[in-house]
Amino acid sequence: MPLYSYKVKNEAGKLFTGEAKMDSEEELRRLLLDKGYIPVEIVEKNAINDISQISLFKPKVKTKDLAIFCRQFAIVLEAGVPIATSLDVLREQTTNSTLRECLDDVYDNIQKGIALSNAMRQHSKIFPEMLINMVEAGEISGQLDLVFKRMAVQFEKENKLNQKIRGALTYPIIVSVVAIAVIMILMVAVVPTFVKVLTDFNVEMPVYTKILIAVSGFFKSFWYIILGALVIIAASIVYFSRTYEGKIFFGTLAIKLPVIKGVTKNIMTARLTRTLGTLMSSGVLLIQSMEVVQKVLGNQVIKEKIDSVIEEIKKEEVLQHLLHL
């Protein structure tokens, strides 16, 4: 479906601009006229020339964006505004272009009679499964405004937690990078200067000094090999961390390593209890809630433990059902 940008005037002559996805320019023109606007200009946007349309350059939808969206949605729904009208207002106010494009599609689907949760499920890469399940529960219970209010709180807390994690990691990362840079400078620039001075004075150097000089010479001669090796090692670690074995390895490391195991357990506990509490308080069933919680947690080892708990709960339910027969 092509994307069009348009300029329109209202009855008072005030100029408005916007974007919309339509099958044709004529269809968009009719829609604008039906809404009482006078089309001034309608132009199909060229996805090749418009860099914002290239997925590589599209802004990501962050937890903060979802928190704002849920908070605003809760406010307009609480005021008694219908879902379709609420979305129409929100998509115009959304500053994140990726989220706005997504909301445009959700709005179009709702206009076709598709339920909000199903329309959101078509964009599962943007809307977390937890939010979709909560919306589905809210549709059944008729408490969508309360659901979005709870999800706003959930995303706001998650955003604060992410900021704390980033803050805690920033300092050691900066220190490590600076330390590596200093070592490289010492080996390539400073040590060779001392070597020249010591050589000029014919000073007998200790074994450790000779080793340092040899290492410095290696760094100076083969710095590009060392740099390439570091890049390959970093890429290998990233690749390994995305495999199942890597997720298990780093997951185990996170909950076993003395320096970080306490922080990891606190983060996992906070996410688990808060997510589970939010889901169950909105009427989502226990097993379904646990399955969502499992996906929220970032540690593969803990995910598998949750999976074992889910299987045990299912066995209990089957046993209870058999006992009632």
Q: What is the pLDDT of residue 37?
A: 81
Q: What is the pLDDT of residue 66?
A: 93
Return the minimum-mean-pLDDT range out of 1-15, 133-147, 293-307.
1-15
Q: What is the pLDDT of residues 224-263, one digit of tens each?
A: 888 899 899 999 999 998 898 998 998 898 888 887 788 7
Q: What is the pLDDT of residue 236?
A: 95
Return all residues near 140 (Cβ < 8 A) that are at least 6 apart.
Answer: 283
Neighbours of 291 (CB within 10 A): 17
Q: What is the pLDDT of residue 148?
A: 92
Return the minimum-mean-pLDDT range out of 28-42, 101-115, 247-261.
28-42
Q: What is the pLDDT of residue 232?
A: 95
- Residue 54 clears pLDDT 50, i.e. is over it: no
Q: What is the pLDDT of residue 233?
A: 94
- Residue 312 clears pLDDT 80, i.e. is over it: yes
pLDDT bucket at 171, cuts 50 / 70 / 90: confident
pLDDT bucket at 46, cuts 50 / 70 / 90: low
- Residue 103 clears pLDDT 80, i.e. is over it: yes
User: Which tops the pLDDT comparison, 43 or 305?
Assistant: 305
Task: Please tell me the number of Cα atoms within 13 Å of 247 on its side-chain side.
Answer: 11
Q: What is the pLDDT of residue 6?
A: 81
pLDDT bucket at 324, cuts 50 / 70 / 90: low
Q: What is the pLDDT of residue 57?
A: 58
Scored b (16 or more CB within 10 A) or e, 93-131 reads: ebebebbbbbbbbbbbbbeeeeebbebbbebeebbbebb
User: Which tops the pLDDT comparison, 308 or 195?
Assistant: 308
Overall average pLDDT of the 113-119 stretch: 90
pLDDT bucket at 44, cuts 50 / 70 / 90: confident
Scored b (16 or more CB within 10 A) or e, 170-184 reads: eeeeeeeeeeeeeee
Overall average pLDDT of the 82-102 stretch: 88
Q: Evaluate if pTM is beyond 0.75.
A: no
